Amino acid sequence: MSPGDTGGVRVGRDAGADGGVAPRLAVAAVQCDVEWEDRAANLSRAARDVAAAAAVGAQLVLFPEMFPTGFSMRTEVVAEGPEAATATFLHEQASGLGLWVGGSFACRTPDLPLPVNRFLLVGPSGQVTVYDKIHPFSFGGEDEHYAAGSTIVTAVVDGVRVTPFVCYDLRFADSFWGAASGTDCYVVVASWPSARQSHWRALLIARAIENQAYVVGVNRTGSGGGIDYRGGSVVLDPFGGVVAEAAGVPELLVATVDASRVREVRSRYPFLADR
């Protein structure tokens, strides 16, 4: 790969367990550094990352929170329209390479006074799923610069039910619980700081175990806005076991999500029915 791209490809163990016919999905988590408030540079690098993921057979490619700019509160600089550069990039990558691509960015909308932190997922035939971060990170002042979303959404990606969340949402288990019965795989894209790295991993594992679903956590590396990031992107199975995990450097993490494994775990251990 070219300099500035993810530094390597880590392929997780095959997550399939029972040989069933339920859908399987090859997911690529792009753990990358982000050039602070430099959309052009970040989208250029991201295009190379999508190509690398496609080359190893990924069907779904995921980028960290606010991957075009970093987690900036300067919305006058980083916010863009819902059909501007980042949305155009995701559409072009998805259609050009025949896969699904998603990540979050600062998005202005005509009906809100503040931008939203929007996760946009685009499919190869132009399918679009929009999730606006429900829990702005008030500890970091995000609530002063970004409006809160209100709706949890689930997309069907090549037959696998995928429910996205963004960073701070991870701390609110009730949001995950409400979507559990219709979810095979949760996606959490983040700019999670290294100061609370242990929380990131522990909460991801908890969300997988308590909802008996896969969890894909995609975090950035490097530094931005005076905050350090240590990666730790991970794919977890419905028992909380590690399918694949990245270290603290830019890396392309690839693993298989198997809906039959979700079905098997929930059938053998019907814990969700007791909520």
DSSP the chain: --TTS-S-EEEPPP---S---S-EEEEEEEE----TT-HHHHHHHHHHHHHHHHHTT-SEEE--TTTTT-S-S-HHHH-B-TTSHHHHHHHHHHHHHTSEEEEEEEE--TT-SS-EEEEEEE-TTS-EEEEE-SS--GGGTHHHHSB-------EEETTEEEEEEEGGGGG-HHHHHHHGGG-SEEEEEE--BGGGHHHHHHHHHHHHHHHTSEEEEEE-EEEETTEEEE---EEE-TTS-EEEE--SS-EEEEEEEEHHHHHHHHHHS-GGGG-
Cβ atoms of 29 and 235 within 8 Å: the answer is yes
Task: Decide if 2 is inside a domain.
Answer: no
Does the annotation count 264 as an active-site position?
no
Catalytic choice (32, 35, 65, 245) = 65
Range of the domain at 109: 9-15+25-270
Answer whether residue 4 shows pLDDT above 50: no
* Contact indicator for 7, 222 with CB cutoff of 8 Å: no
**Catalytic member of 133, 185, 245, 251:** 133
Residues 108-131: tens digit of each pLDDT? 999 999 999 999 999 999 999 999
pLDDT average, residue stretch 174-200: 98
| pLDDT in the model for residue 21 | 59
What number is the average pLDDT over the span 147-160? 98
Kindly state the greatest CA–CA separation across the chain.
Answer: 51
How many CA atoms does the CB half-sphere of 68 hold within 13 Å?
Answer: 26
Does 20 reside within a domain? Answer: no
What does the alpha-carbon distance between residue 14 and residue 26 come to, in Å, rounded to a whole number? 10
* R_g (Cα) of the chain, nearest Å: 17
Separation between Cα atoms, residue 86 and residue 92, nearest integer Å: 10
The verdict on residue 259 lying in a domain is yes
Domain count, the chain: 1
- Compute the average pLDDT of residues 255-267: 98
Report yes or no on 122 lying in a domain: yes
237 vs 140: CA distance, rounded Å: 31
Calculate mean pLDDT across residues 71-87: 98
CATH number of the domain that residue 239 is part of: 3.60.110.10
Alpha-carbon span 250 to 189, nearest angstrom: 15
Q: Is 133 one of the catalytic residues?
A: yes
Q: Which amino acid is at 269?
A: Y
| Active-site residue, selected from the candidate residues 32, 107, 142, 167 | 167
Give the pLDDT score at 22. 74
Active site residue 83: no
- Angular region, 240: left φ>0, alpha ψ -120 to 50, beta rest: left
Considering the domain boundaries, does residue 211 fall inside one? yes
C-alpha to C-alpha distance for 69 and 106, rounded to whole angstroms:
8
Confirm if 69 and 42 have CB atoms less than 8 A apart.
yes
Domain annotation covers residue 167: yes
The mean pLDDT of 64-73, rounded to a whole number, is 98
pLDDT (0 to 100) of residue 6: 63
Strands 24-31 and 9-11: unpaired
Residue 170 falls inside a structural domain: yes
pTM exceeds 0.95, yes or no: no
Give domain status of residue 4, yes or no.
no
Q: Report pLDDT digits (tens) over 82-116.
A: 999 999 999 999 999 999 999 999 999 999 999 99
Rounded Cα distance between 166 and 199, Å, is 15
